[in-house]
Structure 1
Amino acid sequence: MTILLTGGTGKTSLRLASFLHSASIPVLLTSRRGPSASSFYPTVQFDWNDSSTWSNPFSTASDISAIYLLSGELSDPAPIINAFIDLAMSKGVKRFVVCSGSSCEYGGPFHGKIWQNLDESKLEYAVLRPSWFMENLSESGHGHFETITSHSSLFTACADGKIPWVSANDIAAVALRCLTDEEPHNRAYRILGPELLTYDEIAQKLSQHLGKDIKHVHLSQQQREQSMKNAGLPEHMAKFLTGLEVMAAQGKEAWQGDDVQLVTGKKAISFDEFVAANKQAWN
């Protein structure tokens, strides 16, 4: 049975595709660019904003049994993704795993209505609520990587807020189990790293591992939002992402828990372990 991964070129989907491939489980990725987006995994054209593309995965693979749902940059994903879930159900899909964020709440905004829909529809499901990705610091295209390498600095509105940074590998490992375990999980998991770290502490750890001075520059909410728009982000994403940083500054991201170990049997990777394994990324 094939597993469909939306957001096929994203950090978690690509890692999840690798895990599924290693387990000899057929996988199909989606991308707005279509088959050209991946040279290794089967990929179909799919665009959340173009419902005419939603049937493409089912035309390509008639045996899709589970779907990993990533909403990308949709400003209001629930109506769109719930409509796609209806289509997938009509094609025989019964299991869905949604990748949201640590602040997602049942019935709440953004992904909360998707969670509620899956639960009330009596489908097999899991909702992943990861904290902030370590890879946002080590991979290009996420802002922090560029400012670390070009300016030896991190710019945020997080102030002294603590964050349980988590690796995309751990998120993908939890998703793998939720998609493939015989018994459905039918619950949410908050996917967190093993320690709470401020951006000042992140900068200190990067400095120690990379052998150069990395600074954390504290910005106001307005300064941070403008810097994101200057970097090319749409206004709604700049506001949304800055809002998350302000929430972190207020202590609203300081979650603790061991759901990664609960699901996978392995402890989540620490930030020191992550940087030590990926030092070449910043060189």
Structure 2
Amino acid sequence: MNTPATTLVIGATGTTGRRVAAGLSAKGLRVKAAGRRATPVDGAQAVRFDWYEPATFGEALDGVDRVYLVPPIGSSDPAEVMLPFLRRARATGVRRAVLLSSSAMPAGGPVVGQVHQALPGLFDEWAVLRPSWFMQNFTGPHHHGRTIREDGVILTATGKGRVGFVDAEDIAAVAVHALADDRAPDTDLILTGPEALSYEDVAGIITDVTGRPVVHRHLTFEQLRERLAAGIPLEFATMLAGMDRAIADGAEDRTSDTVERITGRPPRSFRALMEAEMSRGGT
């Protein structure tokens, strides 16, 4: 008799993690919801987990055969703590791993790119989700959401560059399939919404849907780096500002069919997300 699969969802109260935990639980699958405070999540077993405290790894991994990996927030070198955990996970019986990365981070590239590169050699089954920028950046606690609410402005160094913004619900839906289907994709997956939008386009949609004027204000790379460095380490601020510069150069001007191909339904548009937020009284 086969033991039912148990999935460890790291970052289970975060933007994608809580959606992944809920989606797996809705399928009747066993879920361990991991976080620094072991916060209860409906349908899941709460367990304490901290990337920087290896003593939390054992209980989190006990009885687990697959894992959803959300890297430590704000780290410019997540491989330093993630790779020892992943080696331990493999040794304790984890056979499938699904990593949340970014469309801006190729295998072997900076930040989580080093973990991406190592994953196929560590696990029999794997997937790397490489979503474009989250639509929820404009509605949640992200700095774009804050400046929209406080000042009616979006501040970037992206110029007229366009991005295939993607809904976190669609990212989570792909993750649930990658974790729960009979086979993992065993590849990396670029995830986008249905259209590529400039930040001016985004500001226009928010204005149209909410009735509140929102504008996109252009910053230079240096201005953005200085602004970000007021709240985060300079190295990380430089990396984030560099991502905006890459968008200005066209690096994210693309869409993919991955969400529909994996889930069987088209990805949600930014306008649809904003309309849903308004109907819930958000933004």
TM-score, L = length of structure 1: 0.92
1:130-279 mapped onto 2 (5 Å cutoff): 130-140=131-141, 142-230=142-230, 232-279=231-278
Gaps of 5+ in 2: none
Contact 2:24 2:180 in 1 (8 A): no
Deviation at 1:268, TM superposition (A): 0.6
Deviant stretches of 4+, over 4 Å: none
Deviations 1:36-89 (A, max 9, x none): x3364432222212222222303xxx3211100111222111232121111011
Contact 1:139 1:281 in 2 (8 A): no
Return closer, same or farther for 1:274/1:87 CA change in 2, 3 Å cut-off: same
1:6-45 mapped onto 2 (5 Å cutoff): 6-32=10-36, 34-35=37-38, 37-38=39-40, 40=42, 41-45=44-48
In the alignment, what sits opposite 1:74?
A: 75
In the alignment, what sits opposite 1:48?
A: 51
Choose 197-206 or 115-124, whichever is displaced more. 115-124
Amino acid at match of 1:23: K
Deviation at 1:95, TM superposition (A): 0.2
Contact 1:2 1:64 in 2 (8 A): yes
Contact 2:9 2:33 in 1 (8 A): yes
Deviations 1:11-56 (A, max 9, x none): 0001111111211112112222x22x33644322222122222223
Gaps of 5+ in 1: none
Deviations 1:86-118 (A, max 9, x none): 101111010000000002222333223322222
Choose 86-95 or 239-248, whichever is displaced more. 239-248
Contact 1:131 1:163 in 2 (8 A): yes
Contact 2:157 2:245 in 1 (8 A): yes
Describe the SS at the equivalent of 2:149. helix
Q: 2 CA distance for matches of 1:261 and 1:82?
A: 31
Residue-pair matches, total: 275
In the alignment, what sits opposite 2:103?
A: 102
Choose 215-224 or 71-80, whichever is displaced more. 71-80
Amino acid at match of 2:276: A
Deviations 1:94-144 (A, max 9, x none): 00000000022223332233222222345200000000000011012x111
Deviations 1:121-176 (A, max 9, x none): 45200000000000011012x11111111111111111111000000000000000
Q: 1 CA distance for matches of 2:82 and 2:7?
A: 17
Deviations 1:188-226 (A, max 9, x none): 100011101000010011110011211111111111122
Return closer, same or farther for 1:51/1:113 CA change in 2, 3 Å cut-off: same
Contact 2:107 2:113 in 1 (8 A): yes
Q: 1 CA distance for matches of 2:127 and 2:79?
A: 16
Contact 1:160 1:198 in 2 (8 A): yes
Describe the SS at the equivalent of 2:203. helix
Q: 1 CA distance for matches of 2:166 and 2:23?
A: 18
Q: 1 CA distance for matches of 2:249 and 2:82?
A: 30
In the alignment, what sits opposite 1:5?
A: 9
Choose 82-91 or 110-119, whichever is displaced more. 110-119
Amino acid at match of 2:34: T
Amino acid at match of 2:148: I
Amino acid at match of 1:64: V
Describe the SS at the equivalent of 1:86. helix
TM-score, L = length of structure 2: 0.92
1:80-99 mapped onto 2 (5 Å cutoff): 80-99=81-100
